[in-house]
Chain A
């Protein structure tokens, strides 16, 4: 049995998959949706789910919901009456415990290993917190999957038609659009995009703002304001009434926003709201938001050079997609090709359960195996589109047990029998099977020892489901190491299948004395798509601490860094220092920053100035597309301003949202600025090509020439697409190749030394640099280019990039 959990912001769902049937497990009150709400009363008694939800409006001081938005932060959530505080992950664990108890009631055992879905926008700290929640809930094993991928799997696993699909997932606060493809029995997530600031909440806010204005008109009293902490409660009540009206308008043409005693008027008399609203009015309010969501769909399709007609079907996910106006507009955009029969509220949990089957995550706790027989390890895909997959096995006999020499596999229905296959010396065998299509195939393994005597095996049975094979989940954002010059060495590109592992070489830029508790060298790990480190999110840092070193680590030492991401995207990192023979694995996990309104205010001001500057430059350089982009930026700035006001009113979620919004906005600005700098970048690329070609042709190895040719193709492609970031990246490759060839020039050591001589004052340690320059002069006089190269290398270590670059690269100590 395989179990998947959609641990949602508003509601959570648990689904099971037994290899044939997908089911959603109802909770104790018979509902499939369990509100992600926790209540703790004065005596410390806990309520989770629907019963807790009932107190959300009436007793918010002791009832908490939407804590998923704060996952990965250290924001303590207090329950006033009991005086207890919990971290968001601890409250998520309580929701998980409740879901697992519901599953136990149905399955007869408590699931020990599950797949939990997380939003695509979650970064490593938030995923880390979700894993912790799973562990706190007593799960032995937790694997994470991104929500849009889970939806895609659930929508596509029984796909009879080949082609492209689009999953339109509108959650409470975010929109995720995933493009997937079914081809030759393989389901693959091709790409996904999204808007981290567009969700059902925005639809509710649009109606709430409208209701606030109508209420002010009707009563003649000042409008309620999000910036006023005293208005939080009345606004929250009004918003709940608006949410109900929105749901009602899914089936009615008109209704009323009814809310008793929204607030007390100046005379102390409570003010009630009873505001008639029509479906047409609601549709008018949300139309711009729906159009914004279609822009995201267009972008994903354009990026993959696909037209709307190429999408065979669109799948709706999330509560807000139940709104008729949205289904009509988005469905109409895709020519009415909407996948039917999919429940948008439970699809994510179903996909998570299917994924659990794909990765062979068995929910039932392991039972003791029969104590006798030879252990055999059988490896095979749990689900596959291949009707003739391979199975690989290896016998692991205990001392005194004989290694089998022959093996045979039979299908339970008698439709396949492998014949006797020889076992290799190490006890391994590889057998190709034959599967019955679209069903679970059960097999039994038999083994023989010398003299054709049958060998008893401990676990000879296994099963394979024939269905759609699901490609490994892709990494949502690139991960790499920030270098001291503020560049990034990308270890895993966006889209890399998980799990992933890669080792790369760096050089240290500072000395770390052995035994020093104060000195440490940081290897920052960042996530994002920008070539400049500071624009990405810091997700962890590997620390080489002097206190743990047995020998001094000189500047310029080789560091082999290995980054590993498990299937859930959890980061593991190791630094090997071959020169001192030591390894470090201490990753400092970074929490999601919780910025104060004051810090956000300053960041907002700087961003506003940047937007104005880019707009001005866009106008003067005659780039209307850029000016249009910046118009969008102005809207986001206004949104950030409003969010900041809400953050001042005490809304912690709004602060996190503004922080993320500014990060995204600055990323867009970076791209816009690079676009403005295109002529310069293009001309720099031409210079780099000219120099590289001459050096590589004269001094390059055949491999370098090949690499150079490839890099030139990439540069040409980037130029054609006017992709500044790609051009920047490929020109850097060309420069490094050119540099490798250049050092073979006998004169190169003398030329480089000349550069160091003239820039000696810029070294991190000018005294040491001066001493090396003096040694170098003597060597240069003798004409010993090899010895001079050694001096240059030492000098190079003293020029790791400017102090400003180092600061911006999160203090990186490597390059």
Chain B
């Protein structure tokens, strides 16, 4: 099969950086949970805690960076953007081999 075009690969990368995946939270997480989880992950990444440095996706584990956590928080603070990400996260959770189990 042909290798994916750069365009498709870029789309997939963007898709796997879904804010809920990055934060390791379910789409029904409250605003307080998001903020607290974001702050906790940022602190863990800054302290160099290993388990914070990757997150699970339907395509395996991917690197988590402070920039991704900040971007995820900003996206989910905007109610309209959050709705879109919730929809996507629900779709992605269906694909995940570990769907239904909590992510770390």
Contact present for B9 and A505 (CB under 8 Å) = yes
Given A489-B10, A495-B74, A743-B2, CB of A707 within 8 Å of CB of B67 = no
Query: In this assembly, does B11 line the interface, its C-beta being within 8 Å of a C-beta of chain A?
Result: yes
- Pairwise interchain contact B13-A504, C-beta atoms closer than 8 A: yes
CB distance from B42 to the nearest CB of A (A): 8
A500 CB within 8 Å of chain B: yes
Count A-B contacts at CB 8 Å: 116
Q: Which residue of B lies closest to A492 (CB)?
A: B71
Residues in A with CB closer than 8 Å to B13 are 503-504
A497-B73, A703-B95 are contacts. A386–B39 as well, Cβ < 8 Å? yes
Task: Tell me whether B99 is interfacial, beta carbon within 8 Å.
Answer: no
Tell me which of B1, B11, B35 contacts A386 (CB under 8 A).
Answer: B35
Residues on A with beta carbons closer than 8 Å to the beta carbon of B67: 499-502, 564
Residue on A nearest B65 in the bound complex, by CB: A501
Contacts of B1 in A (CB 8 A): 744
Asked if A377 is an interface residue, CB under 8 A from chain B, the answer is: yes
Q: Are A392 and B49 in contact (CB under 8 A)?
A: yes
Report A675-722 residues with CB < 8 Å from chain B CB: 702-703, 706-707, 710
Assess the B36–A390 pair: CB atoms within 8 A: yes
**Which candidate, A197-205, A265-273, A582-590, A731-739, is the interface stretch facing chain B?**
A731-739
B61 sits at the interface (CB 8 A)? no
Chain A positions within 8 Å of B74 at CB level? 471-472, 474, 495-497
> Using Cβ atoms and an 8 Å threshold, which residues of chain A touch B10?
489, 504-505
Q: Mark B10-54, 1 if CB is under 8 A from A, else 0.
A: 111101000000000000000110011001101110111110000
Q: Does B91 contact A (CB under 8 A)?
A: yes
Counting CB contacts under 8 A, is B88 at the interface?
yes
Which residues from 455 to 512 on chain A have a C-beta closer than 8 Å to any C-beta of chain B? Answer: 469, 471-472, 474, 489, 495-497, 499-507
Nearest-Cβ distance from residue B78 to partner chain A, whole angstroms: 8
Is A740's beta carbon under 8 Å from chain B?
yes
Q: Kindly name the residue among B6, B48, B68 whose own CB sees the greatest number of chain A CB atoms within 10 A.
A: B6
Q: Does B4 contact A (CB under 8 A)?
A: yes
- Is A740 a contact of B5 with CB atoms below 8 Å? yes
Contacts of A743 in B (CB 8 A): 2
Q: Are B91 and A706 touching (Cβ within 8 A)?
A: yes
B77 within 8 Å of A (CB atoms) = yes
Q: A184-B31, A379-B47, A497-B70 are in contact. Are A707 and B40 (CB under 8 A)?
A: no
Instruction: Determine the chain B residues whose CB is within 8 A of the CB of A815 once the complex forms.
Output: 6
Set of chain A residues within 8 Å of B36, measured between Cβ atoms: 386, 388-390
Q: Are A188 and B71 in contact (CB under 8 A)?
A: no
Given the interface pairs A501-B65, A501-B67, the reply to whether A188 lies near B46 with Cβ below 8 Å is no
Residue in contact with A789 in the complex, picked from B2, B7, B12, B49, CB distance below 8 Å: B2
Residues of B within 8 A of A428 (CB): 44, 47-49
Does A568 count as interface, using CB distance less than 8 angstroms? no
User: Does A394 contact B49, Cβ atoms closer than 8 Å?
Assistant: yes
> Is A497 within 8 A of B47, CB to CB?
no
> Is B6 in contact with A505, judged by CB distance below 8 angstroms?
yes
Taken together as a complex, chains A and B put the C-alpha atoms of A188 and B77 apart, in Å, by 9
For B9, give the chain A residue with the smallest CB separation. A505
A430 to B37, CA, bound (A): 12
Q: By CB atoms of chain A within 10 A, which of B49, B73, B84 has the most?
A: B49
Q: Which of B46-104 contact A (CB under 8 A)?
A: 46-50, 65-68, 70-71, 73-74, 77, 84, 87-88, 91, 95
Given A188-B77, A707-B11, A394-B47 contact (CB < 8 Å): yes
Tell me if B50 and A426 are in contact (CB < 8 A): yes
Bound complex: CA A48 to CA B57 (Å): 57
**Contact partner, B70, options A472, A503, A504, A793, Cβ 8 Å:** A472
State whether the Cβ of A380 lies closer than 8 Å to any Cβ in chain B. yes
How far, in whole Å, are A683 and B15 apart by their CA atoms in the complex? Answer: 28
Q: Which residues of A contact B66 (CB under 8 A)?
A: 499
Query: Is residue A384 within 8 Å, beta carbon to beta carbon, of the partner chain?
Result: yes
Find out whether the CB atom of B32 lies under 8 angstroms from the CB atom of A184: yes
* CB neighbours of B9 from chain A (8 A): 505
Q: A377-B48, A471-B77 are in contact. Are A740 and B15 (CB under 8 A)?
A: no
Contact assessment for B6 and A430 in the assembled complex, using a CB-CB cutoff below 8 Å: no
Nearest B residue to A384 via CB reads B39
Give A381's nearest chain B residue, CB to CB.
B39
Whether the pair A737, B2 counts as a contact (CB closer than 8 A) is: no
- CB<8 Å pairs between A and B, sample of 7: A184-B31, A379-B47, A392-B43, A392-B46, A392-B49, A428-B48, A471-B73
Name A's B-contacting residues (CB within 8 A).
Answer: 184, 186, 188, 377-381, 384, 386, 388-394, 424, 426, 428, 430, 469, 471-472, 474, 489, 495-497, 499-507, 558, 564, 702-703, 706-707, 710, 733, 736-737, 739-740, 743-744, 789, 793, 815
Q: Which residues of B contact A (CB under 8 A)?
A: 1-2, 4-13, 15, 31-32, 35-36, 39-40, 42-44, 46-50, 65-68, 70-71, 73-74, 77, 84, 87-88, 91, 95
Q: Closest 5 interchain pairs by CB?
A: A392-B43, A379-B43, A736-B7, A497-B74, A394-B47
